Chain A
Amino acid sequence: MSKVRVLVGTRKGAFILSADGKREKWDVSGPHFAGWELYHLKGSPVDPNRIYASQSSGWFGQIVQHSNDGGKTWEAVGNKFVYDGVPGTHQWYDGTAHPWEFKRVWHLEPSLTDPDTVYAGVEDAALFLSKDGGQNWQELSGLRGHGSGPHWQPGAGGMCLHSIIQDPGNSERMFIAISAAGAFRTDDAGKTWQPINRGLNSPHIPDPTAEVGHCVHHLAMHSSRPNVLFMQKHWDVLRTDNAGDSWQEISGNLPSDFGFVIDVHAHEPETIYVVPIKSDSEHFTPDGKLRVYRSRTCGNEWEALTKGLPQADCYVNVLRDAMAVDSLDECGVYFGTTGGQVYASADAGDTWAAIVRDFPAVLSVEVQTLQ
């Protein structure tokens, strides 16, 4: 019988939640790396026992761990992230030039074909690659070398590279996104990159339709339609149907077009999920109601999913890497909150239940579907 394993990164450690295909009874393992910030954990799609974890601390810096047994045991691997060449400067919050400095790994994206190959999206924004299970890291510096790097600037959370999406049908193509620079695409396996932000409109920046400078919060793609990407931006939910050459807004009837997460149903590439958040200064759920919104039409028309979620006095956030879907026949949807709850739906969002309610603030949620 199929099983699911939910990998949860929090402000104070990692947790692994396991259940059978019914997704009703959960076993909780952890905290792993207690007291450390776990920005992201993700398993290899070709070897689910290989899991990578980004562990960091303001005191002790960045650690990368990997597991070869599904998260039962861990091994610290390489943590030497050195920018290629002279890294130069990007814009600081006040518009002045600021030297590029490595701070942490926000996102680890294992290769679609090799469990020892993994990408790391880091702050200050850059993309690194390891081909030996995380022991050694090399920057794919063509991204920063695109030429627009001096104009990138940090979002409120830092200048992070947070989204990494590999095209399953084209090993040369990959998409990434940076807050606050925008989305980029490579068509030559990371050697060169182009910004793909045409159609984005950000009225809070000096040139609202600039080539770079947009605060993209997250990207999502369905593997069957690699030219269709979905984006949650600082404001606006958007879709591209041509691999980022142009974007159109699909916020439609959402109560707030601000948010962080966005994800796609495992079997219905036109069904997408977001969690609207009230901004700009509050960053919690509108009206004290925790609502996932689902569109079955690639956006524009959205329905609130509320059954099992608190609809009063709830003021949490759902951070950009804190939603995931499983690939069981009835698609499961999962998300974690800054209030420490991890919610699961075993029926594509129709009904929800909390797996746990009292974790530290949740930074990331990923799901593995196991046979």
Chain B
Amino acid sequence: MIRVELPPHLRGLARISGEVQLEIPGRATPRSVLDALEARYPMLRGAIRDHVTQERRPFLRFFACGEDLSHEHLDTPLPEAVTSGKEPLLIVGAIAGG
């Protein structure tokens, strides 16, 4: 079970309170987590990664276990602490703007 924390705007968009918990078959990667997240919450499609290029939106970052995973390849396996559910995968919006 993977735990995912979304920024408040996306929790509001998807009408989620608290963490999302996802079952991911096999070794989870950022791509497989996003695929599962968007399958459950279709309104998030395009809000985290581009519809066509699948690239992460520039003002969002992926963090876990105190590490910035944003620049890892989307198919790089997530840390064991994330795949075991001990630590959440954090999808974080940049602190910017007004």
A residues in contact (CB < 8 Å) with B? 33-36, 57-63, 76, 79-80, 82
Contact = CB atoms under 8 A, between A and B. Distances in A.
A76 B46 contact: no
Contact of B46 (A33, A58, A61): A61
A59 B46 contact: no
B16 interface: no
Contacts of A58: 59, 96-97
Interface string B52-65: 10000101100000
Given A36-B9, A76-B13, A59 B57 contact: yes
B36 interface: no
Contacts of B43: 63, 76
A59 B98 CA distance: 12
Given A79-B45, A82-B51, 10 more contacts: A33-B12, A36-B9, A58-B96, A58-B97, A59-B60, A61-B57, A79-B47, A79-B51, A80-B46, A82-B52
B24 interface: no
B93 A59 contact: yes
Contacts of A59: 7, 9, 57, 59-60, 93-94, 97
B74 interface: no
The 9 A-B pairs with the shortest beta carbon distances in the complex, nearest first, are A76-B43, A60-B47, A59-B59, A59-B93, A80-B51, A79-B46, A61-B46, A61-B47, A35-B9
B10 interface: yes
Contacts of B51: 79-80, 82
A60 B52 contact: no
Contacts of A36: 9
Interface string B10-50: 10110000000000000000000000000000110111100
Contacts of A34: 12
B9 A57 contact: yes
Contact of B13 (A63, A80, A82): A63
B9 A80 contact: no
B11 to A, nearest CB: 11
B80 to A, nearest CB: 30
Nearest to A82: B52
B39 to A, nearest CB: 15
8 contacts: A33-B12, A35-B12, A57-B9, A60-B60, A63-B46, A79-B51, A80-B51, A82-B51
B45 A60 contact: no
Of B7, B9, B48, B94, the most chain A CB neighbours within 10 A belong to: B9
B81 to A, nearest CB: 26
B10 A60 contact: yes
A76 B42 CA distance: 9
Nearest to A34: B12
